[in-house]
Amino acid sequence: MTRSFPLTNYDLAATLDSGQVFRWIPRGAAWEGVLGDHWFRLWQTAGQLHAEGATGSSPWERLLHFLGTDEDLTAIRSSFPDDPPMRDAVAACPGLRLLRQDPWECLASFILSSTKQIVQIRQCVSLLCERFGQPVAVPPGTAPVYSFPPACRLAETEERQLRECKLGFRARYLGATARRVVQGGPMLEEIAGLPTEAARRELMELPGVGRKIADCVLLFAYGRQDAFPVDVWVQRALRQLYFPNRRPSFRTLERFAATHFGPFAGYAQQYLFHYVRTRLGRTAFPKASSRRRSPRPPSPPHEPH
DNA sequence: GGCCAGGTGTACC
DNA sequence: GGTACACATGGC
């Protein structure tokens, strides 16, 4: 059955294709994906979201929670620093949103993400679901889809089988983290109740999870909108947009990000990530050398008017 | 064929 | 506190 919901200030395509999630597939003007054990097809028209479920008992509330349709995006955007880079990034895609994902799926997916392109992460996640997930009900004529395999399923899977999903060296991390999550009982639920810094430390105890992946999980699954993942794209964005003609160290970028972007820094990060990835591209941002010093004395980064 | 990809762990200084 | 390198695989 299909239901419609009011929806404003929301760019569904950009949101589902912005590197937060890896299993939503465009089909014509719609997007198809799985939430838990439920298949959905989503599309939007002026002011409305349309959602088709495979059964009459689809979890609509969960879908809306996942999409974050209740979030006041205007208030969030107005908290951003009023500087040219942020204005450009927001103008490029004003309806970009953060999703509220399942922590395990998000954690496992980002363990696979290290030094992989997003298209390859999608492929790995898809293979994992096909081989170790459960079939999910779909409408007649729709290709079969599968749920994301739970930690207990991956914990008992041999590393060789994980590697066959093209995980490479990440297979060992995924298996080891799955076992830790299973042994830890409700650890992923308990993390939800911790302050952000304590939650980050807990996540970073898991094999294959460093600062960046921990921040992705905090931001994309636990709703910690002050978490600010700094990956290669965000490094490029910060260097080019805020430190042109300089060679800031990674540490400098982290310190800058921690203070510059305000209480919704993670949201600002997603706008910068999407902006640099879709509009500016890779070639505009040569990798900064960590050895060479700046040829000129440092000047303050770009300040608001 | 070389470089790069939503990094992390380890060894070393 | 840092820096260098290995780790798999595929796209461009």
Mean pLDDT of A192-198: 97
Distance A6 CA to B1 C1' (A): 52
Mean pLDDT of A281-296: 42
Nucleotides of C under 7 A from a protein CB: 1-4, 7-11
pLDDT band at A293 (very low <50, low <70, confident <90, very high): very low
Locate CATH 1.10.340.30 in chain A.
103-220
Mean pLDDT of A34-46: 97
Fold of A2-70: TATA-Binding Protein (3.30.310)
- Contact, A15 CB vs strand B, < 7 Å: no
pLDDT of res. A245? 83
Distance A95 CA to B4 C1' (A): 30
Over 90: is that where the pLDDT of A76 sits?
yes
* Percent of chain A whose pLDDT exceeds 70: 92
- Contact, A115 CB vs strand C, < 7 Å: yes
- Contact, A259 CB vs strand C, < 7 Å: no
Locate CATH 3.30.310.40 in chain A.
2-70
Determine how many CB atoms are found less than 10 A away from the CB of residue A282. 12
Distance A232 CA to B3 C1' (A): 15
Fold of A103-220: Endonuclease III; domain 1 (1.10.340)
Over 90: is that where the pLDDT of A291 sits?
no
- Contact, A284 CB vs strand B, < 7 Å: no
For the stretch A259-274, pLDDT in tens is 999 999 999 999 999 9
Say how far apart CA A225 and CA A206 lie, in whole Å. 21
